[in-house]
Amino acid sequence: MNPVIHSKLPNVGTTIFTVMSSLAAEHNAINLGQGFPDFPMSEELRGLVSKAMNDGHNQYVHMNGLPALRQRLAEKVAGLYQANIDADAEITVTPGGTYAIYTAFTTILEKGDEVILFEPAYDSYIPNIEINGAIAVPVSLSYPDYAIDWDLVRTKVTPKTKAIIINSPHNPTGAVLSETDIQALRHLVKDTGIFIISDEVYEHLIFDGKTHHSILKYPDLYERSFVCFSFGKVYHCTGWKLGYCIAPPALMKEFRKVHQFNCFTCNSAAQVGLAEFLQHKEPYLQLGSFLQSKRDYFQEAMAQTKFTALPSYGSYFQLYSYKNISDEPELEFAKRLVKEYGVATIPVSAFYKTAVDNQVLRFCFAKKESTLAKAVNNLQNIL
């Protein structure tokens, strides 16, 4: 008798990002689907990491992350969010933001728990919830502005609600939570045992004078939260797969119990380089204006096509409606764009548990202007 795997994720296949990137490679298409830059990262940061390797920083660092790096992060969030964070007890360096989110879910979830999330949603959330035996409770954001209907959210709260996951700036829509949203969240969880997982990997990629309302700014929310961040999104090094989680000491103690038997520790030389580089504030403080210029360039160019832009106030992404072009379902239209026009995107329907098709595609504008110009030139040929 052969061993049999009873899948913990029976409804999960290959991610849409892999599907579309593979299709792009097959057809030599411009990849505006997957969210990674095609421009170089900081030469100084690369040099610092190379120096760290040459100086011998190639063995394990502390399980929780290089102490100097955690101290720099504590100083950073104190300056940005007026949050008094204990670098030793409240920060853990992780192999990416997605890992931090998964570990937070695994720390708190038990079989039968419910987690409220907002759709369209980053595609790891639901599998993270379900692999832990919990139940995902999706709440649709209001199309086309992708706002949260908090009255609807309240109807989804039950005695089994263990957590709510929020994401701002939001992937895939580029929406940003407002102060009103934060106040609604505070009211919703007050006097409950509900945890918050806050995905803030795009914290600095925020546009048009908007404010990033980090959970770290609100002590009553932070006391029940795991707040997850990404170095890759901030420093254009997504392939390094480095991030971190910040949580109150009691929550972080349990988070680390999971972390130590999964990843244990992260790339040493990169942490040494980042600890040094974080002394410079300009790279992250100027990131929003840098990416906004790319959004603006792409949006102005796309105005010459038949696509209709939806607002993007943050992240790497902007959504575009193609209702003026075709009645095809999103996935079919996205595949046709690759094959016939040489541009890869992501259908937004892929970000729902049960596909919702508004004839909208996600474009990544975190690319060189020459890449964006070439893509738009191809898209102008759509009849």
Predicted pLDDT at 14 = 86
Sign (positive or negative) of CA dihedral 151, 152, 155, 157: negative
Where do the structural domains in the chain lie, given as residue ranges?
Answer: 16-41+285-379, 48-280
Predicted local confidence at residue 11, as pLDDT:
87
Adjacent-strand bridge partners of 245: 92, 228
272-304: pLDDT as tens digits = 999 999 999 999 999 999 999 999 999 999 999
Query: Do 16-41+285-379 and 48-280 fold alike per CATH?
Result: no
Contacts with 10 (C-beta within 8 Å, 6 or more apart), sequence order: none
Residues 6+ away with beta carbon under 8 Å from 378: 30, 341, 342, 343
pLDDT for 1: 85
Model pLDDT, residue 383: 76
Beta-strand relationship, 317-321 and 360-364:
antiparallel
Which one-letter DSSP state was computed for residue 350? G
Give exposure, 244-272, as e/b (b: 16+ Cβ within 10 Å). bbbbbeebbebbbebbeeebebbbbbbbb
What pLDDT, in 10s, does the model give residues 139-170? 999 999 999 999 999 999 999 999 999 999 99
Q: Is the pTM of this model over 0.85?
A: yes
pLDDT in tens, 303-335: 999 999 999 999 999 999 999 999 999 999 999
Beta strands across the sheet bearing 346-347:
308-309, 317-321, 360-364, 346-347
CATH superfamily, with its number, for domain 16-41+285-379: Aspartate Aminotransferase, domain 1 (3.90.1150.10)
Question: Measured between alpha carbons, how far is 199 from 218 in angstroms, rounded to an integer?
Answer: 15
Q: What is the dihedral of CA 136, 140, 146, 151, to 10 degrees?
A: -100
In whole angstroms, give the CA distance from residue 179 to residue 216: 13
Q: How many CB atoms lie within 10 A of CB 143?
A: 16
Rg of the chain on CA atoms, in Å: 21
Across the chain, which distance is largest between two alpha carbons, in Å? Answer: 63
With a cut of 50, which residues of the chain have pLDDT below it?
none
Helix (H, G, I), strand (E, B) or coil at 163: strand
Q: Which CATH number fits domain 48-280: 3.30.70.20, 3.40.640.10, 2.60.120.200, 3.30.2350.10?
A: 3.40.640.10
Q: Which residues pair with 117 in a beta bridge?
A: 138
